[in-house]
Structure 1
Amino acid sequence: MPDTFTLIKNRTEPRLGQLERALATDGSARPAWVIAILASVLIFTTVVDVLGNLLVIISVFRNRKLRNSGNVFVVSLAFADLVVAFYPYPLVLYALFHDGWALGNTQCMVSGFLMGLSVIGSIFNITGIAVNRYCYICHSFSYSRLYSYRNTLLFVALIWLLTVVAIVPNFFVGSLRYDPRVYSCTFAQNVSSSYTVAVVVVHFLVPIAVVTFCYLRIWVLVIQVRRKVKTEESPRLKPSDLRNFITMFVVFVLFAICWAPLNLIGLAVAIDPSRVAPHIPEWLFVVSYFMAYFNSCLNAIIYGLLNRNFRNEYKRIVTSVWVTRLFVTETSRAATDGRSMKSKQSPPPPLNNNESVRDRVNKESLK
């Protein structure tokens, strides 16, 4: 396997653009305040990512109102966001404080695979959510048959299968490389122009187009219902359905905002790597990359702000954890106080000359 990666690297090395060759020899360290800002963003993202997405998953399993076919995709999306918090993000954080440290070949491949699993899995799950909402609102009569429990699980499994299939070509093209600008192993945009264009189109532009179509159709229906235009295919929207749609629409918009700069940079570099890549400011690439990082912690926050059921379940989970913690603390404190009271009890006074042990016992029992 190492020989295969070496051959791939040797084949792709001549195609590297000027920017990547310059970065390979660049040993300049960033100012301490820049490192502090990047580290703070990454720490905040990691903590909120783990806590928020765990809350989402637990909420769906605990709350009967949240256990529906649409939220199966929400749980899948939360899992995709969690993936990066347990391996790639900690490695990036370690590299931030150890300037010049780089991933080994195996670490780079594993980190790049998990990063791709999270990124591509997120956009594919967001697409699945949009299609689900479109079928639920615009084709409600056939929704129950199309999104049965079994079919929904099959759709989610298909999403993850397509995600893995989309990542595998990177290992043959040799596009997963350590980038010192963002301290992580990531997709190298200037390894192959045609492959970069294909990645941006298939992994970003096509899903965005599908999601946009679905949400535009939903908005048209919402406007029709608001204006009381009755048609055969126009069901009466419930307020909860409208809130759920708005929540998922905001999730999509934030994803597009966070990931658009990085994808547009990749598309520009792919068109003419030798001329465009050297003129892209390093700060712009770094900011766009950390914006993409930041997106993984936003979804759980959006659910809590815009969805009443998620918000109430968040409160119940946090309250139950807090009450359990107080109960354990008070129990341990009471046990400690009981042991200390026993240890502080004074020994009985010595026996008098004319007093026997039996007399002492009788006195104690009469008290």
Structure 2
Amino acid sequence: MDLYNSTPQLSTVLPPMDSSGDIVFAVCLGLLSIFGAVGNCLTILAVIIDRKLRSHTANYFIVNLAVADLMVFTAIEPFLSFSTAMSRWPFSDTLCVTLAALVIKHLVVSDFIMASIAINRYVSIVRHRIYHKLFTPGRTLLVCLACWIPGIITIIVQVVPPYYAQFIPYYGTCVIVSLHSPVTTRAVSILSGIVILFSILLSSLCYALIYWTIRQSKRRVRSNGPTGSGSANTPTDPTSDSAGSAATTQPVVNRNNCASKADVALSLNLFIVFAVFCICWTPLAVVIILENAIVGGITLQSERPLPYWVWPAAYRLVLFNSTFNIFIYAWKNRNFRSAYFRILRCRKC
């Protein structure tokens, strides 16, 4: 039996979005999918072929995030761009199910990757003594792979028969609805929103502790005086930009084997990535929880707690998020920037 055709169509409950700006958005989405695919491929290649980038296990998480974003640009956004322009789904039902599953996967996996990056940076700065023992190349790869497991489990829960998927112009994507237990669909949606918020809170805590540790180190630097006038264990300022000074190579506190300036700089770069992630993802998490916890998900317009423009705006913000990372890497990381230039100029790293 064709579940897709034998089930009630959600478009009878949800009116389509205002199509006045759909064409413009579809064109922008198509261009961003091309640029994002190229940008994330550059990031992955940069870590693979550049020895400096490859030697730092924290960059494994950057590659993991780039792979997750690459799936958005190659397997999600091109189809969304075309269907948004047409305000309908012109492809097969199987492809609609696949797209809906990939969207769910991306929501969950990206959150776990961002949380794992924050934990990695926390250990690197605050618990530096155990960092190289805990985050060996092999263990780091296992952590990266483990980030994908929750996304796979979420998809499996969603596609337990009977179910169907349909493209909803209002949501701007295909959605999976379980016919066996509608509560399952609602619970998974609420859980997805909670996972997003939890990953943001956990990451915020990690970066707050990193900031506190660096600030305490800078206070000790000021209290102990300039480097070189004290003992061999005098800490150096991890944020100093003096070229050729000891601060560019010395640890923050030699005696305690704390993080180097390179670790601090990388943590700052990844914090910017996280801050952009928070700006783009928090509205969607709040909307998901409100629409499913208060009114039970898809329902009539008169019963909806939020205006109709809220969800499309929040979801589109998430789609644009994946294009920002390459700019951040190129802007704040000299090694990534030089690796990008060498790849574009076809020079050996």
Scaled by the length of structure 1, the TM-score of the pair is 0.75
SS of the aligned residue for 1:281 comes to: coil
Do structure 1's residue 150 and structure 2's residue 138 form an aligned pair?
yes
Measure how far apart 1:175 and its partner are. 8.2
- Show CA shifts across 1:238-257 (max 9, x none): 33222211111111111111
Structure 1 stretch displaced more, 275-284 or 48-57: 275-284
Q: Alignment partner of 1:185: what SS?
A: strand
1:72-109 CA-to-partner distances (Å, cap 9, x unmatched) read: 11101100000121122111111133233355431111
- Tell me: CA distance 1:198–1:277, structure 2 relative to 1, closer, same or farther (3 Å): farther
Alignment match, 1:101: 89
What secondary structure sits across from 2:19 in the alignment? coil
C-alpha change, 1:232 and 1:90, in structure 2 (3 Å) is: same
1:197-256: CA deviation from partner (whole Å, max 9, x where unpaired): 22211x212212221121111111011111117899965543322221111111111111
Deviation (angstroms), 1:151: 1.0
Q: 1:6 to 1:94 in 2, by over 3 A?
A: closer
SS of equivalent to 1:168: helix
User: What amino acid is the match of 1:303?
Assistant: Y
Task: Indicate the SS of the match to 2:174.
Answer: strand
Aligned partner (choices 135, 141, 152) of residue 129 of structure 2: 141
Moved more, 35-44 or 46-55: 35-44
Over the residues paired in the alignment, what is the CA RMSD in angstroms? 3.0
1:30 has 2:19 as partner:
yes
Does structure 2 retain, via aligned residues, the 8 Å contact 1:29–1:99? no
Name the % identity: 26
Q: Residue 255 of structure 1 is aligned with which of 272, 277, 299?
A: 277
Shift of 1:28: 7.6
- Structure 2: distance between partners of 1:6 and 1:175: 5
1:294 to partner: Cα distance? 0.5
C-alpha distance in structure 2 between counterparts of 1:28 and 1:163, whole Å: 28
Alignment-derived partner of residue 116 in structure 1? 104
Letter paired with 1:106 = T
Partner of 1:289: 315
Which amino acid is 1:215 matched to? Y
Deviations 1:279-304 (A, max 9, x none): 42222221111111001111111111
Does the Cα contact within 8 Å between 2:119 and 2:203 map onto a contact in 1? yes
- Which residue in 2 is equivalent to 1:344? none
Give the Cα separation in 2 of the matches to 1:200 and 1:259: 10
- Give the Cα separation in 1 of the matches to 2:176 and 2:345: 42
Tell me how far 1:21 sits from its aligned partner.
Answer: 4.1
| Greater length-normalized contact order (CA 8 Å, ≥ 6 residues apart) | 1
Question: How far 1:35 moved relative to its partner?
Answer: 2.3
Contact 2:46 2:340 in 1 (8 A): yes
Q: Is the 8 A contact 2:172 2:312 kept in 1?
A: no
SS in 2 for 1:297: coil
Q: Is the 8 A contact 1:138 1:234 kept in 2?
A: no
Q: 1:268 aligns with which of 290, 293, 308?
A: 290
Contact 1:27/1:100 (<8 A) preserved: no
Match of 2:170 in 1: 181
Residues 28/245 of structure 1: CA separation in 2 closer, same or farther (3 Å cut):
closer
Alignment of 1:46-65 (within 5 A): 46-65=33-52
The residue identity in structure 2 corresponding to 1:55 is: L
Give 1:197's match in structure 2, choosing from 190, 200, 204. Answer: 190
- Following the alignment from structure 1 to structure 2, what is the Cα–Cα distance between the partners of residues 228 and 240? 19
Structure possessing the higher radius of gyration over alpha carbons: 1
Q: Which residue is equivalent to 1:302?
A: 328
Quick check: 1:76–1:156 contact (8 Å CA) kept in 2? yes
Distance, in Å, in 1 between the alignment partners of 2:18 and 2:192 is: 31
Counterpart Cα distance in 1 of 2:157 and 2:59: 31
> What letter is aligned with 1:153?
L
- Structure 2 vs 1, CA of residues 270 and 183 (structure 1 numbering), >3 Å: closer, same or farther? closer
Task: For 2:188 and 2:152, locate their aligned partners in 1 and report how far apart those are by CA, in whole Å.
Answer: 17
Aligned partner of 2:29 in structure 1 is: 42
Q: Which of 83, 97, 101 pairs up with 2:71?
A: 83
Q: TM-score, normalised by structure 2?
A: 0.78
Cα deviation per residue 1:283-341 (whole Å; 9 max; x = unaligned)? Answer: 222111111100111111111111111111111111227x9xxxxxxxxxxxxxxxxxx
Residue correspondences, number: 307
Check conservation: 1:41, 1:294, Cα contact below 8 A: no
Q: How does 1:311-326 map to 2 (within 5 A)?
A: 311-320=337-346
- Residues 4, 164 of structure 2: 8 Å contact kept: no
User: For residue 57 of structure 1, what is the amino acid of its counterpart?
Assistant: I
Tell me the SS of whatever aligns to 1:227: helix
CA distance in structure 2 between the aligned counterparts of 1:59 and 1:21, rounded to whole angstroms? 48
